[in-house]
Structure 1
């Protein structure tokens, strides 16, 4: 079928096509007038995706992600928000609504789920182009009810969004609360361990005590060194105790005086022996005095030797005492060092527990504040109001659409009638039908000539 045949068919069957067009428009107009009027209420929400979190002060990167707006629209369309709307408007408390639910579902499922699905069917959520505004549209037969539902969806979305945002914070708050308690108990245990150790060992100030005992050890060691030097000196003098070269003997004024007296007495005896003779009473008396002086000198020398021996023995005993005291002091210092090391370990345990407690406590406080926050990044830009004019049915648009559809339907009916009762309208139809060559064609007469009896033309 070519374009010429198409237009010839339409010209031949235009009445049918026109009838179908008129019928379509009439039916559409009547249906639009018969349909119940629908009212659409719209609430606008704005999402602030750039403001920092009021608690942490950080900008959440998830808010500026490309899919953030789509996620928010899905949340508004979710069953959770719809059920929240049912609760906000108390739709599940009406007796008539319950009877209708029982009639439609025979009591299967939940009333709130059924009402939520009905609300979702008439909900239309659209984001504004190139902005962070979301429009919530709800269509219903009652304009006031439509506005109430749209506002309820906006409020329910804010509540659910806040709950979704705070749910992790609440979980973290509970977790960090338990961890804070555990950290506190660990810190208290470490403090009790340190206190018990100090009490059991009688330690008041470990560092000062160690310093004192160390100083005492050094002092004892110095004393031992001095006594050992004195003992060594006494030992060397002891070996020369019977000699006149000992310093104490050589430096003794008494001994030196006795030696001088002995020298003088010997000189007198020598003179007396020469002058008076060796057996003279004076000479004998002088020799007796000399022997007495020598005996006194030996006695005094022995006293000095005895004192050197005494000094050596005393120094040796003092050396043994200091060695014992030094060993005891070393043991005490080693014990104190070990105690100090154990104290340092206990103190480090306390410091570690203190840091862990402070860190967990800080995090617990932050999550606790976050879990109690009531601020969201969503604000109501425009609340829904009851519309004055219905949004459906749209008589003008429906009429325009029905005209377009009526034209298409009329053309389709004309073509179907033509195919059902085919007519020869052009030479092409004849050639296609008879499959024979065309010899000629007679065009249609524009008018009819008058008839005469002779058959001649006027």
Structure 2
């Protein structure tokens, strides 16, 4: 310990600094929910929790017994997406079409209509509830007096109906349940059924009103459309008459189908026909010209037209036979032979006939060609004339087309409106509802409220909630440490040890008994201090508390004594220069002590007090000085601490309380670690956290807290077993039994 500042720097570097990061230790010692602390808080406030719950249950029972029985009647209806068809398969006039993707919104809208003020007014009028004394009695309200206006009476009835009506629509169903609650079971059933029936009636009435409005609207539109059609057609006819346009009903194609134009002029129709005829004539002329060129370009008898003639074929066949017979005669006879001459004459005759027929065929082809050419020229001349007339007529057709389209549009609109008007007239007064009644409400046999078990369950839940809130607020507003878990939760300090309360009121006597719970508790504290830092046991420790009489002096003495029994050289310094008490424990006077060392340069050995333990020494406080804080904050005090640390293994300093004094915070800056002593179950009112804030302002090394004067029997002796306070008692009992 020759280099005390260096050791403190090492200790600071390896210890969580709770003054800078108070949440660091909290995050290391407990998770998001510290169930041990919650259980401890419940145990410490068990009577309060039980009282709150019992009071809640008692209130629920009394209120249930005093409450008037109320009866709930329910009727069910089915709401479909669209109403049934009435007129025909293709009629949609009575159908309320609903988008398949909007069914949920549609059903929600229907339930809102069920809860609407308008439907409640229909029910009130149907059942004549306004001014009905039985209704007011069933609703547990006083009948209106004569001073209440009719409007106020009506509002009262509607409010009572709406406030006691419940409409329930399941998530995956179209069955809606209508419930009404009152003190009269008959009235509950009557009102529930009235809401169902009036909902259907109002639905039908809305459809009828909508259909009536639609008929009136369509009738007005139909009259206007009729006038527009008449005007448009009259203008069209007048324009055609003034321009001399003659229109046909339709233009027919060659295949007999209509052209799609609703009508055309005669000139245009004639032009189309002449153009088609001219095309055909041109085609015929080209064919005829080809035939003529073919027959006129080569040998006449080699032409296809000639060869295709049946007469030519017969003559050529006959000629072939004559030529064959002639060849046979020439083979047997001379040229002058009569049969040869006869056959030659016959052959010449056949050739002449062939030539005459071929010429006739050629002339026929030529005539056809000339006729086709003449017809083509005539049609082309007529076509050119019609083209000129058609071009002159096109300008007139533009305006005629505009007028005709206007007339056609007006006619189409008029026809559509007329059809819709006829449909509305056919379905007027015929409509079906998309709502149907499934079950009518019956008179309930048993009251629905008050429900004792339900009220008790609610009261139990509320009681638990109120108890939890009370315990939470109590825990947040009170920093008193009642159970060991409070140390880590409220102070954010590690728990070094728990010292039980002395049963005989003499903690010093219990310390002399090595088997007492107090001795065992301080032995446990000693073990915790041995591993309180990464460097092991701190060489210089300060023991302090928030207020006086919390057990810090006893803790200082017991800690120093316990470490001395381990063979360590320990010195206990009484730095409480205002109310010294350590010298009394060993029977010494307080004539000399720490005050003498601070005011003089006397050696430390001059004030050293031996104890019954060989390695345990004490330094009393000495005479009470006029200004203890100035002495403890002097450089002489730092020199004394450094010298003691070099001569002893452990230096334990007993300091004054923190609140109201500056001594303990000043001393905390000179030591390697601070042990904070907290008295169990002591009223604080914020003083404990205030003391810790003052101490942390000096940036000390807080080793942890020691909970003193803890009574384990306050929680059903659970803590005595947990901390082993009854171990020797159990052993003694077992020994007796043995």
Task: Give TM-score scaled by structure 1 length.
Answer: 0.52
Partner deviation per Cα, 1:127-166 (whole Å, 9 max, x = no partner) = 1231211111111111111111111111122122233334
Aligned pair 1:106/2:163, yes or no? no
Tell me which of 122, 130, 133 is aligned to 1:92. Answer: 130
Shift in alpha-carbon separation, 1:181–1:110, aligned structure 2, 3 A: farther
Q: 1:46: which partner in 2? A: 78
Aligned pair 1:27/2:27, yes or no? no
Q: Distance in 1 between matches of 2:231 and 2:452?
A: 82
Q: 1:161: which partner in 2? A: 203
Shift in alpha-carbon separation, 1:114–1:428, aligned structure 2, 3 A: farther
Shift in alpha-carbon separation, 1:402–1:78, aligned structure 2, 3 A: same
| Residues 144-293 of structure 1 aligned to structure 2 (within 5 Å) | 144-183=186-225
Q: CA deviation at 1:21?
A: 3.6
Q: 1:320: which partner in 2? A: none
Alignment coverage as a number of residue pairs: 308
Q: Distance in 2 between matches of 1:36 and 1:110?
A: 26
Q: 2:97: which partner in 1? A: 60
Partner deviation per Cα, 1:311-340 (whole Å, 9 max, x = no partner) = xxxxxxxxxxxxxxxxxxxxxxxxxxxxxx
Q: CA deviation at 1:379?
A: 0.7
- Partner SS state of residue 91, structure 1: coil
Aligned pair 1:73/2:115, yes or no? no
Bigger relative contact order, structure 1 or 2 (CA pairs below 8 A, ≥6 apart) = 1
Greater share of helix: 1
Q: 1:7: which partner in 2? A: 43
Shift in alpha-carbon separation, 1:184–1:76, aligned structure 2, 3 A: same
Q: Are 1:170 and 1:368, in contact at CA under 8 Å, matched by a contact in 2?
A: no
Shift in alpha-carbon separation, 1:175–1:34, aligned structure 2, 3 A: same
Q: Distance in 1 between matches of 2:45 and 2:79?
A: 60
Aligned pair 1:388/2:434, yes or no? no
Q: 1:118: which partner in 2? A: 160
Q: Distance in 2 between matches of 1:88 and 1:116?
A: 13
- Partner SS state of residue 61, structure 1: coil
Query: Where does the alignment leave 5 or more consecutive residues of structure 1 unmatched?
Result: 195-205, 212-340, 447-458
- Partner SS state of residue 92, structure 1: coil
- Partner SS state of residue 445, structure 2: coil
Q: 1:132: which partner in 2? A: 174
Shift in alpha-carbon separation, 1:170–1:410, aligned structure 2, 3 A: same
Partner deviation per Cα, 1:296-316 (whole Å, 9 max, x = no partner) = xxxxxxxxxxxxxxxxxxxxx
Q: CA deviation at 1:63?
A: 6.5
Task: Give TM-score scaled by structure 2 length.
Answer: 0.34
- Partner SS state of residue 209, structure 2: helix
Q: CA deviation at 1:374?
A: 2.9
Q: 2:288: which partner in 1? A: none
Shift in alpha-carbon separation, 1:379–1:346, aligned structure 2, 3 A: same
- Partner SS state of residue 29, structure 1: helix
Q: Are 1:9 and 1:415, in contact at CA under 8 Å, matched by a contact in 2?
A: no
Aligned pair 1:375/2:436, yes or no? no
Q: Distance in 2 between matches of 1:96 and 1:39?
A: 15
Q: Are 2:70 and 2:449, in contact at CA under 8 Å, matched by a contact in 1?
A: yes
Q: CA deviation at 1:80?
A: 1.1
Q: Are 1:41 and 1:137, in contact at CA under 8 Å, matched by a contact in 2?
A: yes
Q: Are 2:83 and 2:433, in contact at CA under 8 Å, matched by a contact in 1?
A: no
Q: 2:372: which partner in 1? A: none
- Partner SS state of residue 392, structure 1: coil
Q: CA deviation at 1:95?
A: 7.0
Q: Distance in 2 between matches of 1:22 and 1:352?
A: 84
Q: CA deviation at 1:114?
A: 2.9
